[in-house]
Chains A and B, each alone.
Chain A
Amino acid sequence: MTLFRRLLDDRAFLTGAVIAGVMVLVALFAPLLTALAGQDPTTFHPELLDSARGGVPLHGITADHWLGVEPGTGRDLFARVVYGARVSLGVAVSALALQLLIGVGIGVAAGLGGRYTDAVLSRLTDLTLAFPLLVLAIALLAIVPQSWPRPALLAVVIALLGWGGTARIARGETLSLKTRDYVSAARVSGAGTLLVARREILPGLAAPVLTYAALILPSNMITEAGLSFLGVGVRPPTPSWGQMLSSATTWFRADPMYVFVPGALLFVTLLAFVLVANGVRRVVDPRQREVLR
């Protein structure tokens, strides 16, 4: 309880938590919000574009289009940003879930396994940590068929390449937990490795792993945005903030608003999640006076 009280005293954490919470709600209720605005993210509105100036929007913010429209296509910017939140957050959260599953699985197996299991799994972990993952992700994403659902694919690729950190932490904690008396007691009373892992080790891993997970979430969002920005991630007509920024680069002289909206949202959301992660970390790990790591 005192931990919770200390979190509530942390103004940076609270600010981050409120903004992050709002973004999660926006993502969850995207259809409702766009229905309220009376728009949808895929309808073209060529009548709102200035064809003489290459398709730049005629108007800025209007009563119909709360954030204006996209240059070139005239799709409603508000609707795209709201649905974009859904894709960006959805990919980051699903990737995180997969990363935790793989990372904790491999980490605990390495920690509890014998010498050779540990050596093989640890080398594998080091390998994924040392490698230029962006390069591999680009190669991977380019060769799969276009018809596969991109957001799901992105989540899988980000997770497959980014579980190393979690595995390393899970292994370290497992090694220290397994020397505790209560774990030895469980072993002596005849519990098998699986039972020990589930009953004695996993609960002890929750705090350190979840603290770390809070930090991976924004980094997953950055990866998604980066891959979509390069054109190998989410592709139009599906919106994501990175995909919108990618299209915006060709328009950014003529229509800065198109860059500003997804860019600012991405920045504010990422900052909010980092503030949350930082707050949680400071409370969970009191030795950590320093900001982050």
Chain B
Amino acid sequence: MTGYLLRRVGGAIVVLLGLSIIVYALFYLAPKDPAILTCGKGCTPDRLAEVRAAMGLDASPPAQYWEFLRGLFLGRDFPAGPDVRHCPAPCLGYSFETDQPVTKLLTDRLPVSASLAIGAEILSLAVGIGAGLLSGLRRFRILDRIVNGLILAGYAVPVFLVGLFLLLLFCVRLQWLPFPTYVPFTTDPAAWAENLILPWIALAVIQSAAYARLTRAGVQESLAEDHVRTARAYGIPEGRIVRTRALRGALVPLVTLTAIDLAAIMASAVLTETMFGLPGVGQLLVGAVNQIDLPVVVGVTLLTGFLVVVANAVADLLYAAVDPRVQLR
């Protein structure tokens, strides 16, 4: 178990290092010089050199990358005119565009993306498990068809198309909801939910289909097993069989998927956030990419990569926890 954890953490670090090197390399291959962009028009060579130094761009790329890594674990100092400013660990540098610490930009926006992902995941699980269960028990024939249709649609619709449709319907035509603007949960929980409900639905349309399919397959498989037949023969009520046996078997794969999907939604929420104008991590990335704001792009990529790696490890551990047959090696 300890060996497994160590190897898992080691692998994750290698992956994250690789990712950060790729992103760093890409930006130095890019034909745009961020120092010139920052310095603006009428930039003198002296001023340019100063800007370069302040941005940490005067060293060679490998040296810059090394500085970046040190900053991440130990913090680092940036020259700012006559003074020096200290950026405590985990330091991801300062945004070229707004001059704010990247760590702060990320922590400011993480709650938005997390609200989006967690709400969407809960809604998807509720709808997906419910529909999958009903359809797996074959209570309603029509439901089978609806679930099939949903699964196909889930594959065929881009999330921003669902988003556009929802906005048109609920905000423009029916005017039941305001155009989404983010309200922090701590300020006003009701307004928070009201503004996020459309993005949640948009994501759930796509996500719940996968859960419905898995639940249905799991329920049908479990109900066909011998121990269920035995339980039936003993006269155990059908409702209890479904609850204790069928559902249990069906939910095991979902437990692990939930962790991975939460991270995946946060990583791919760029589209949803842009569509609904939510100031999350994804929107930060789109803005930074257009401004060639290297520290922010590296920060967002590393953060999403980190979330995905952690989620995968958590999924493996959960899998072992819910299914005793699984051995972690």
Bound-state CA distance A275–B155 (Å) is 10
Bound-state CA distance A259–B257 (Å) is 34
B271 close to A229 (CB less than 8 A) = yes
Q: Which of B156, B168, B297 contacts A267 (CB 8 A)?
A: B156
Counting chain A CB atoms within 10 Å of each CB, the highest count among B22, B152, B156, B292 belongs to: B156
Known contacts A132-B308, A266-B161; decide if A271 and B156 are in contact (CB<8 Å).
yes
Counting chain B CB atoms within 10 Å of each CB, the highest count among A131, A135, A144, A270 belongs to: A135
Chain A 250-289 per-residue mask, 1 if CB under 8 angstroms from chain B, else 0: 0011001001000100110011011100100000000000
Interface size class, chain A = 35 or more
What residues on A are CB-neighbors of B151 within 8 Å?
291-292
A259 close to B164 (CB less than 8 A) = yes
How far apart are B24's CB and chain A's nearest CB, in angstroms? 11
A270 close to B217 (CB less than 8 A) = no
B297 close to A139 (CB less than 8 A) = yes
How far apart are B301's CB and chain A's nearest CB, in angstroms? 6
How far apart are B123's CB and chain A's nearest CB, in angstroms? 21
Q: For the complex, is A210 an interface residue (Cβ under 8 Å from B)?
A: no
Partner-binding segment picked from B28-36, B55-63, B82-90, B191-199:
B28-36
What residues on B are CB-neighbors of A134 within 8 Å?
267-268, 270-271
A131 close to B308 (CB less than 8 A) = yes
Q: For the complex, is A140 an interface residue (Cβ under 8 Å from B)?
A: yes
A143 close to B160 (CB less than 8 A) = no
Tell me if B's interface is mostly helix, strand, loop or mixed: helix
Bound-state CA distance A232–B217 (Å) is 39
Bound-state CA distance A271–B153 (Å) is 7
Known contacts A127-B15, A132-B264, A135-B304; decide if A230 and B286 are in contact (CB<8 Å).
yes
Q: Which residue on B lies nearest to A266, using beta carbons?
A: B161
A132 close to B152 (CB less than 8 A) = no
A143 close to B167 (CB less than 8 A) = no
Q: For the complex, is A156 an interface residue (Cβ under 8 Å from B)?
A: no
A263 close to B268 (CB less than 8 A) = no
Q: For the complex, is B300 an interface residue (Cβ under 8 Å from A)?
A: yes
Known contacts A139-B301, A292-B151; decide if A226 and B289 are in contact (CB<8 Å).
no
What residues on B are CB-neighbors of A144 within 8 Å?
30
How far apart are A216's CB and chain B's nearest CB, in angstroms? 11
How far apart are B249's CB and chain A's nearest CB, in angstroms? 16
A292 close to B26 (CB less than 8 A) = no
What residues on B are CB-neighbors of A259 within 8 Å?
164, 168
Bound-state CA distance A230–B274 (Å) is 7
A132 close to B268 (CB less than 8 A) = yes
B285 close to A267 (CB less than 8 A) = no
Q: For the complex, is A52 an interface residue (Cβ under 8 Å from B)?
A: no
Q: Which residue on B lies nearest to A144, using beta carbons?
A: B30
Q: For the complex, is A153 an interface residue (Cβ under 8 Å from B)?
A: no
What residues on B are CB-neighbors of A222 within 8 Å?
158
A253 close to B172 (CB less than 8 A) = yes
How far apart are A258's CB and chain B's nearest CB, in angstroms? 11
Q: Which residue on B lies nearest to A293, using beta carbons?
A: B213
What residues on B are CB-neighbors of A273 within 8 Å?
156
A292 close to B264 (CB less than 8 A) = no
Tell me if A's interface is mostly helix, strand, loop or mixed: helix
A145 close to B31 (CB less than 8 A) = yes
**Which residues 258-297 of B sit at the A interface, judged by CB distance below 8 A?**
264, 267-268, 270-271, 274-275, 285-286, 289-290, 292, 297
Q: Which residue on B lies nearest to A262, using beta carbons?
A: B161
Q: For the complex, is B13 an interface residue (Cβ under 8 Å from A)?
A: no
Q: For the complex, is A9 an interface residue (Cβ under 8 Å from B)?
A: no
How far apart are A210's CB and chain B's nearest CB, in angstroms? 18
Q: For the complex, is A249 an interface residue (Cβ under 8 Å from B)?
A: yes
What residues on B are CB-neighbors of A136 within 8 Å?
22-23, 301
Q: For the complex, is B157 an interface residue (Cβ under 8 Å from A)?
A: yes
What residues on A are CB-neighbors of B304 within 8 Å?
132, 135
B161 close to A267 (CB less than 8 A) = yes
A139 close to B289 (CB less than 8 A) = yes
How far apart are A13's CB and chain B's nearest CB, in angstroms? 12
How far apart are B267's CB and chain A's nearest CB, in angstroms? 3
A226 close to B271 (CB less than 8 A) = yes
How far apart are B61's CB and chain A's nearest CB, in angstroms? 14
What residues on A are CB-neighbors of B268 within 8 Å?
132, 134-135
B213 close to A263 (CB less than 8 A) = no
Known contacts A139-B301, A230-B286; decide if A218 and B308 are in contact (CB<8 Å).
no
What residues on B are CB-neighbors of A229 within 8 Å?
158, 160, 271, 274
Q: For the complex, is B182 an interface residue (Cβ under 8 Å from A)?
A: no
Bound-state CA distance A31–B177 (Å) is 43
B289 close to A142 (CB less than 8 A) = yes
B residues at A contact (CB < 8 Å): 15, 18-19, 22-23, 26-27, 29-32, 148, 151-153, 155-161, 164-165, 167-168, 172, 213, 216-217, 264, 267-268, 270-271, 274-275, 285-286, 289-290, 292, 297, 300-301, 304-305, 308-309, 312
Ordered by A's residue number, 29 sampled pairs between the chains whose C-beta atoms are within 8 Å are A127-B18, A130-B309, A132-B264, A132-B268, A132-B304, A132-B308, A134-B267, A134-B268, A134-B271, A135-B285, A136-B301, A139-B26, A139-B301, A142-B290, A143-B27, A143-B29, A143-B31, A143-B292, A225-B158, A232-B289, A245-B160, A252-B168, A253-B172, A266-B158, A271-B153, A271-B156, A274-B152, A291-B213, A292-B213
Given contacts A143-B26, A263-B161, A274-B152, 13 further A-B contacts (CB under 8 A): A134-B268, A135-B270, A138-B270, A138-B286, A143-B30, A225-B158, A226-B271, A229-B158, A231-B290, A252-B164, A275-B152, A290-B217, A291-B151
